Each structure stands twice: as C-alpha cells, then as structure tokens.
Amino acid sequence: MKQYVILGNGVAAAHCIEGIRSVDKATPITVVSAENHPVYCRPLISYYLEDKADPARMNYRPEGFYRENGCTVLYGKTAKAIDPAQKTVILDDGESLPYTALCVATGSSPFVPPAEGLDSVEQKFTFLTLDDAAALKRAAKKQCHALIVGAGLIGLKCAEGLRPLVWDITVCDLANRVLSSILDNDCASRIQAQLEQHGVRFLLGDTVQRYEKNTAFMKSGKTVAFDLLVLAVGVRANTALVKACGGKTERGILVDERMQTSLPDIYAAGDCTQGTDASTGQQRVLAILPNAALQGRCAGINMAGGNAVFDNAIPMNAIGFFGLHALSAGSDCGGETYEENDEKHLKRLYCKDNRLTGFMLIGDTARAGIYTSLIREKTPLDSLDFERLKQTPTTTAFSKQERRHKFGGAV
C-alpha cells in the first residue's frame, strides 16, 4: 500500500503535508513527532517567556489540520533507522513503517559542548523547543541571576524574553561580538548597545572554563554566580539517520533543488538540510523558517509525483530586540558597498557584477522586501534606476515594463 512518511513535525513537515495534498488527496501520511505537540510556531518560544505569545495561539495550523489532511501523527516517537533498500523506517519502539516516499524534516539539536563541572549545575536549560521554554519559564523567579552561554540568535532572543522575569542576565560568548555569524562589528555593536540599555550584561571574547554548582569560572579569570544556566552555543542539523543509511551529508543533509537527498525516494526539508545559497552559489545550512516552509512544500509536491523546484533560497533575517529592528538578506560577496550610517540608522547594500547580493538595514526598515526581491530574482541593476533605489526601496525605480508586469495583473 502507498504511504508517505514524514520524520519530524515542525514547519517543514506542515508544508510538506500541504505540498503532498496539492497533488495527491488520498494516500495516507504518517508523521513521526518526537515532540508531544502539534506543529507550533517555534520562533515564538522567546515571546512565550514574556507572555507575548501563549501556547493556545502558538499553533502553526488550525485544530483538525492532521485529520483533514489524512495524517496519522505518532507523538513522542523518533526514528531509529532508515532502510532505503526495504523502504522502511524503524522507530525507537521497534515498529517498522513502510514508505513509498520519505521526507526527513528532523530539524536541529542544541550543541552542548562538554565542560568541566557541568553535571554539578542543577538548573540548566537549552532553548529550542516549547518544552524547553516552559521549563525555563517555570524555573525563572524575580530574584534569579541568569547566565546565557552563547550570543547567537537563540541566546539573545532568550535574553530578551527572559529579561522581565529575572533579576539580571549575563550573556557570554567566545566570539568578540554578538550575532557573530550574521552581523559585522558595526552592526553587532548597535544590537549589543540596545540589549545593554535594557539591562543585559555581556562577557564577550570569554568562555566558561568550568562550572561548580552555581558558579561559572571564566577563562578571563572572572567568575559569574548564577541561578539559571541557558546553554545556547549553537545547533547542529540532525543528519544522523540519513548519514547512517548511506546518504550524503556534510553540515546538513545534502539536497538538490527538488529537495531530494542522494538516496532514491528520500527527500529532506528544513533546518536539517544543506542546500545552495542563491546569493553566493555556495552550499550551506540555511536554518530559517521561510526556507523550511518553501523546502517542505517543494519536497511534498515531488514526493507525490509532482514537479517542483526551489532554487532561490537566500539567508534572510528579521532580528529585533526591545523594539530595535535589523533586517538583512543575502550576502556580502566582496563587491562594492553602498553605506548610510548615522546615529539612528544604518544601511548597507552589497553589490557585485551588476547584482544586489545582500543588504543590512538597522532602524529604518520600511519596504525592505523590495531589496530582498532584487537578490532573489537576480535583477540586473542596470535594468532599473539603482541610484534612486539606493536612497529608498521603491518600485518606481523599476522600468515601465517591469512596473506593468508587477502591477498590471494578478501576481
């Protein structure tokens, strides 16, 4: 009997289900969900800490979503192995699930580097799931001192959400700036200043050498006393299942532009994958929600016998802390940079070979998507009034023909 199996129950899985159903209304779908929740809005977990989101409104799809789409969800279960020859998935409870087509959407896991004395810390948390956030929220008390290890997006969003719940927060990172994988020094210092203004303290270029119960001994010789420890050093794509059965993996599961892995009838989507970054042409893990959604849908359509391609994935980040927003997309490919930089705003446009390859906006972020579209569509800059576009993102900079195309009919 035909059956689709999806490993994982996040955003990529939800779009995979919808992709399958846009082609094939009948074949049963089985979803293997490690977490005991229907698909939820994972990036909202930091907002949940400070009650800007609550679990009742964090559902990513309406009630009845799985039933209406003919899905069986196996909650609290994980896959132990994939057998590509037999086309089966073996679950942790020994059950074997046959598949016609499989989608691996297993996401990523927190990377917790080993550290001396970590076992002696009682109140330690990771911050990737709703259950992680709920546990942290229960433990947080007004008199608590919190130490967050890692000044990446997960660590800093955790700091923002946790700030009103605790006495103080210290964030440490081995890198000498915050968000070191996304921002350069200039942008990072603005974000850091914003967080500092709201009472978050930083120990940058420093790392914990050992823990002793409620004290962290830093490499610099400083000591940090804490009640709550959040480990947010980074995440790693969950590639093990595909790697173990012979599929190609690097930092993520390698997928082509149809979301197919190197193994027949096995697809992958979301944070566990490594695909092509269209802004640089290079292979990388792009663990962002829009990518998970677009990849998931593409995988689902192809699993069901359709023909979908997703070939313009680019990095896109909307980062905001305490009301200061930074929007960025694409990459600095080492070409020319146009910059505006004053006290309140920063704008950088990265251009190379007649294309916009990336940008960074802090402060004034209005209509940033017009810039993003130039990167995704690889629009030749000599086909429009780029001098005008540099000043402000506006569609009036496009040629008359392009405006007609964009505004003259349904899109």
* Residue 75 near residue 82, CB atoms below 8 Å: no
**SS3 of 215, please?**
strand
CB of 3 to other proteins, least distance (A): 26
What are the b/e assignments for 82-112, b being 16+ CB within 10 Å? bebeebbbbbeeeeebebbbbbbbbbbbbee
Out of 6, 44, 166, 255, point to the residue binding other proteins (CB under 8 A). Answer: 44
Per CB under 8 A, contacts with other proteins among 326-345 are 327, 329
What six digits make up the tokens of 17? 């289900």
Q: How far apart are CA 156 and CA 280, in angstroms?
A: 27
- CA–CA distances in Å: residue 51 to residues 10, 131, 141: 22, 15, 15
> If binding means CB under 8 A, how many residues of this protein chain bind other proteins?
50
Q: Which is nearer to other proteins, 242 or 314 (CB)?
A: 314
Shortest spacing between CB 384 and other proteins, in angstroms:
11
Binding of residue 225 to other proteins (CB under 8 A): no
Q: Is the separation of the CB atoms in 215 and 209 below 8 Å?
A: no
Q: Looking at beta carbons only, is 141 or 388 nearer to other proteins? A: 388
Choices 91-99, 117-125, 174-182, 324-332 (CB under 8 A): range interacting with other proteins: 324-332
Q: Are 360 and 383 in contact (CB under 8 A)?
A: no
Stretch that binds other proteins, among 259-267, 301-309, 311-319, 349-357 (CB under 8 A): 311-319
**CB-nearer residue toward other proteins: 84 or 320:** 320
Q: How many CB atoms lie within 10 A of CB 346?
A: 18
Tell me how far apart the alpha carbons of residues 375 and 378 are, in angstroms, rounded to a whole number.
Answer: 5
Window contacting other proteins (CB under 8 A); options: 39-47, 128-136, 235-243, 331-339: 39-47
Say if residues 266 and 81 touch (Cβ distance below 8 Å). no
**Could you tell me which of 190, 199, 143, 144 has the C-alpha nearest to residue 171?**
199
Instruction: Select 207 or 373, whichever has its Cβ closest to other proteins.
Output: 373
User: Of the two residues 30 and 317, which places its CB atom closer to other proteins in the complex?
Assistant: 317
CB 208 within 8 A of CB 217: yes
- Secondary structure (H, E, C), 24-69: CCCCCEEEEECCCCCCECHHHHHHHHCCCCCHHHCECCCCCHHHHC
Q: Which is nearer to other proteins, 47 or 217 (CB)?
A: 47
For residue 84, which of 262, 224, 225, 254 has the smallest C-alpha distance? 262
Helices (H), 324-384: 368-376
Q: Given the rule CB under 8 A, which of 148-156, 215-223, 275-283, 314-322 is the region that contacts other proteins?
A: 314-322
> What percentage of the chain's residues is helix, strand, coil (to nearest 5)?
30, 30, 45
Q: How far is the CB of 407 from other proteins (least distance, A)?
A: 6
Closest CA to 347 of 357, 337, 356, 355: 337
| 53 touching other proteins, by CB under 8 A | yes
Binders of other proteins among residues 364 to 403 (CB under 8 A) are 365-370, 372-373, 377, 385, 388, 393-397, 403
Residues 259-288 contacting other proteins, CB under 8 A: none
Among 2, 36, 51, 52, binds other proteins (CB under 8 A): 52
306 binds other proteins (CB under 8 A): no
Interaction of residue 243 with other proteins, rule CB under 8 A: no
Interface segment toward other proteins; rule CB under 8 A; list 122-130, 144-152, 248-256, 323-331:
323-331
If one asks whether residue 318 binds other proteins (CB under 8 A), the answer comes out as: yes
Nearer to other proteins, 47 or 338 (CB): 47
Q: Which one of residues 177, 297, 352, 355 is an interface residue with other proteins (CB under 8 A)? A: 297
- The answer to whether 22 contacts other proteins (rule: CB under 8 A) is no
Residues making contact with other proteins (CB under 8 A): 15, 41, 43-44, 47, 52-53, 57-61, 289-290, 293-294, 297, 316-318, 320, 323, 325, 327, 329, 365-370, 372-373, 377, 385, 388, 393-397, 403-411
